[in-house]
Amino acid sequence: MIAVLQTPRPTLRGPRLDDCEPVAIFLDSDRAAYIGGRRNRTDAWRTFAVLVGHRELRGYGMASVEDRATGASVGMVGLYYPEDWYPEDWCPEDWCPEDWLAPEVGWWIGDPACEGKGYARETAVAARRYAFDIAGRPEVFSVIAPENARSIRLAERLGATFDRTVAAPNGRPAPIFRHPAPEARA
């Protein structure tokens, strides 16, 4: 079973059915532009269900970010590593280069009221530590849209370094950032 991770302020816990509402609101907003674009409620449900199923199938995955002060579900963070990912137009949020051999560390803070508080950084640190130390992954990456300057800045603050750029299914460049292994972060 996947642990509940405590960070200084938000808590990472397993997704629940009642997280679907804030997730759907976020994914149906322009704020989802950099993670595959807006999608309607049916597609948001599918995205959410896939993330939950991934946890059971892989034994690790994306967690819900809960604001400890309010109990609100404000975002998701964690690891994503589908089987046989490859570029595909059908579902542009879900692709990866053919030689992608490691999970992605991903994050979003969907509640605008919780932006800028460092929640993404705190929870991404916890998720990355989980990836290396508990899930035992030898390496992890983040793929970030080139226009998503805030997310790129966060990746760099986390010590991730630019690895290479691949072509996304829509033909646009997609930079990949490699996270440092635990010994390099000491």
Partner 1 sequence: MTAPAIETEGLGLRPHRMDDFASFAAFFASDAARHVGGPMPAARCWHGFAGDVGARDLLGFGGRAIEERATGAFAGQTCLSHPPHFPEAEIGRTSMPGFEGRGYAPGAARAARAHACGPLGWTTAVGYIEPDNARSIAVARRLGCSADPAAARFDPVDLVFRHPAPEACT
- Looking at beta carbons only, is 7 or 47 nearer to partner 1? 47
183 binds partner 1 (CB under 8 A): no
**How far is Cα 55 from Cα 99, in angstroms, rounded to an integer?**
22
Residue 6: how many other CB atoms lie within 10 Å: 12
137 binds partner 1 (CB under 8 A): no
> Smallest distance from the beta carbon of 8 to partner 1, in angstroms?
29
Binding residue for partner 1 (CB under 8 A) from 34, 38, 50, 159?
A: 50
**Bridge partner residues of 175 (DSSP):** 165
Which is it for the CA torsion 39, 178, 102, 115, positive or negative?
negative
> Smallest distance from the beta carbon of 24 to partner 1, in angstroms?
10
2 binds partner 1 (CB under 8 A): no
Cβ-proximal residues to 53 (8 Å cutoff; 6+ apart), any chain: none
15 binds partner 1 (CB under 8 A): yes
- Looking at beta carbons only, is 12 or 160 nearer to partner 1? 12
Measured N-to-C along each axis, helices 119-129 and 149-157 cross at an angle, to the nearest 10 degrees, of: 50
Residues that bind partner 1 (CB under 8 A): 15-17, 20, 41-42, 45-46, 48-58, 82-86, 88, 90-91, 94-95
